[in-house]
Amino acid sequence: MATVSFHDATRVYPGADRPAVDKFNLEIGDGEFMVLVGPSGCGKSTTLRMLAGLEDVNSGSIFIGDRDVTTLPPKDRDIAMVFQNYALYPHMSVADNMGFALKMAGVPKAERDQRVNEAAKLLGLEEFLARKPKALSGGQRQRVAMGRAIVRKPQVFLMDEPLSNLDAKLRVSTRTQIAALQARLGVTTVYVTHDQVEAMTMGDRIAVMKDGLLQQVDTPLTLYDAPVNLFVAGFIGSPAMNLMPAKIVDGGAQIGDYTVPVSRDVLAKATGEDTVVIGIRPENFAVSTTGISVDVAVVEELGADGYLYGTITGSGDDAITAQQIVAHISARTAPQRGTTIRLNAADPAGVHVFSEKTGLRIS
């Protein structure tokens, strides 16, 4: 097992006008589950591939433990790409399907059997070891594929969108299984996904990327509760955080006819700007007598809870009103569509303030 570190790692594709990954710095702890997440084209897969040795590193360096692997060929890096391929061989038992790569590497039979048995135990596949793989379900096949990687005992697991070819249900159960398994194995894991819910439910820490640049690395809760900029604020969370431009006024920031209280110290950080962006997560909204005025467009009830979709109203700047917002509400007190209500932050600590000019968090 080992740590992984990127030092100013940069990848520029030939003919590109900007790097696909630009001066990427990240320290991944021993045994940590690190998720790289971001929209398509953000550089997350390129970053993983630089670590795997599939992409040249144009400048900077990458370490696994204290070994500089920047220029090592992939096979010498002691990493395993999981789910790369999981063709299962019909004439071979599940045990042989899991252990054949060890045979190729010349691992003696006794040790092979031991490693396969250990992996099967972890994966709940002991009962299946002697069987042929043909009748296995999709989920069981995935576990055999995980077993193939586990028996190799690599220093680092790499997974690039491993769940993308599974149906929705299998995707959810497999992500839970991978996370639980990784925690038990304690093998450092770097996992790439475009899906922020997958990232949030699996990672010990998450590195959010955009346009080849690392935006923020933190635990899921810190990303959620204290996003460093507008991109992270909007990217993490489902439904997304409401990000509302607001005019700086005395005592706060004005949205429609309501002034959201913001401390003078915070507003001082937006010197020379007329507006800031106020961020409030849907579940931090509550219907109130004072607050932002909203025309209710749709109320979507989901059991005891529901989502309210509406438009900010009230006098003031058109660029500020007419904005769509979403609030998480209790279905029992759900307002009718077509009415106008007021929404306020249930927890004032959950009001995020960003500079509109730099996009950075100032609260």
Among residues 7, 23, 67, 132, the one that binds other proteins under rule CB under 8 A: 132
The amino acid present at 99, given as its one-letter code, is: G
DSSP 3-state of 284:
helix
Q: Does 197 bind other proteins (CB under 8 A)?
A: yes
Q: Which two tokens stand for residue 352?
A: 């995020």
String of contacts with other proteins for each residue 149-188, x by CB under 8 A: ---------------xxxxxxxxxx--xx-----------
| CA 97/CA 112 separation, integer angstroms | 12
Site for other proteins in 25-44 (CB under 8 A): none
String of contacts with other proteins for each residue 48-87, x by CB under 8 A: ----xxxxx----------------xxx--------xxxx
- Closer CB to other proteins, 18 or 337, in the complex: 18
String of contacts with other proteins for each residue 303-332, x by CB under 8 A: ------------------------------
Among residues 59, 219, 263, 340, the one that binds other proteins under rule CB under 8 A: 219
Among residues 110, 135, 268, 304, the one that binds other proteins under rule CB under 8 A: 135
| CA 36/CA 40 separation, integer angstroms | 12
Q: Does 90 bind other proteins (CB under 8 A)?
A: yes
Angle at 305 between CA 302 and CA 308, to 5 degrees: 85
Give the pairing of strands 59-64 and 67-68: antiparallel
- Closer CB to other proteins, 38 or 220, in the complex: 220
Q: Residue count at the site for other proteins (CB under 8 A)? A: 65
What is the DSSP-derived secondary structure letter of residue 360? B
CA-nearest of 201, 277, 190 to 233 is: 277
Among residues 147, 162, 237, 306, the one that binds other proteins under rule CB under 8 A: 237
- Closer CB to other proteins, 22 or 198, in the complex: 198
Q: Does 333 bind other proteins (CB under 8 A)?
A: no
Give the E-state strand segments of the chain in sequence order. Answer: 4-11, 21-28, 33-37, 59-64, 67-68, 79-81, 156-160, 188-193, 205-210, 213-218, 242-249, 252-255, 258-261, 275-280, 285-302, 305-312, 324-330, 340-345, 351-355
Among residues 7, 67, 92, 234, the one that binds other proteins under rule CB under 8 A: 92
DSSP 3-state of 329:
strand
Q: Does 121 bind other proteins (CB under 8 A)?
A: no
| CA 3/CA 16 separation, integer angstroms | 31
CA-nearest of 316, 320, 311, 304 to 339 is: 311
Query: C-alpha 264: how far from its chain's center?
Result: 34
- Window contacting other proteins (CB under 8 A); options: 22-30, 88-96, 307-315, 353-361: 88-96
By CB under 8 A, name the binding residues for other proteins: 13-15, 52-56, 73-75, 84-92, 96-97, 100-101, 103-104, 123-124, 127-128, 131-132, 134-137, 139-141, 143, 164-173, 176-177, 195-198, 200-201, 219-221, 224, 237-238, 283
